[in-house]
């Protein structure tokens, strides 16, 4: 019986030491552009295309989610380095879950599995 489960392709991104916290790299897997980011000691991978109008996230900014406090003019950043901000119109997505910061239930980007194997950062897509 033929399975409908698609086989994931293993792609080596780089050596772990070649990416520092806050760094990003883009890899092509088949015809998919994937953005790999390092946040502290964790790696995440998302599709490198914004669902709004298709901008490449690699040119965006990685930072936390700005949240207001009860004090006027005071904000704090939740999950520092955990959100990619689109360079065109600043939609932002959690790199861990793919969920939009402002509409997490309805707007999401594709995420991919990333592992560190024998000191290499590897994406499965």
Binding site residues, ligand FES, CB under 6 A? 50, 52-53, 55, 86, 88-89, 91
How far apart (Å, rounded) are the C-alpha atoms in residues 57 and 86?
5
CB 36 within 8 Å of CB 43: yes
- Closer CB to ligand FES, 34 or 121, in the complex: 34
Nearest Cα to Cα of residue 125 among 45, 42, 49, 18: 45
User: How far is it, in rounded angstroms, from Cα 84 to Cα 64?
Assistant: 8
User: Least Å distance between CB 111 and ligand FES?
Assistant: 17
Cα–Cα distance, 65 to 10 (Å, whole number): 31
* 113 within 8 A of 11, measured Cβ to Cβ: no
Shorter beta-carbon distance to ligand FES: residue 84 or 125: 84
Q: Closest CB to ligand FES among 57 and 112?
A: 57
Residue (27 or 86) nearer to ligand FES, CB: 86
- Which pair of tokens denotes residue 74? 């005071």
């Amino acid at each position: 019986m033929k399975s409908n489960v698609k086989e994931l392709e293993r792609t080596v991104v780089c050596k772990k030491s070649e990416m520092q916290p806050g760094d990003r790299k883009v890899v092509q897997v088949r015809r998919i552009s994937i953005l790999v980011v390092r946040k502290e000691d964790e790696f995440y991978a998302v599709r490198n295309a914004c669902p709004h109008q298709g901008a490449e996230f690699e040119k965006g900014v990685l930072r936390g989610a700005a949240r207001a406090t009860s004090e006027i003019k005071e904000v704090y950043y939740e999950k520092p380095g955990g959100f990619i901000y689109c360079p065109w119109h600043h939609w932002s997505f959690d790199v861990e879950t793919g969920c939009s910061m402002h509409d997490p239930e309805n707007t999401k980007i594709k995420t991919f599995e990333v592992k560190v194997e024998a000191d290499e950062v590897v994406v499965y897509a």
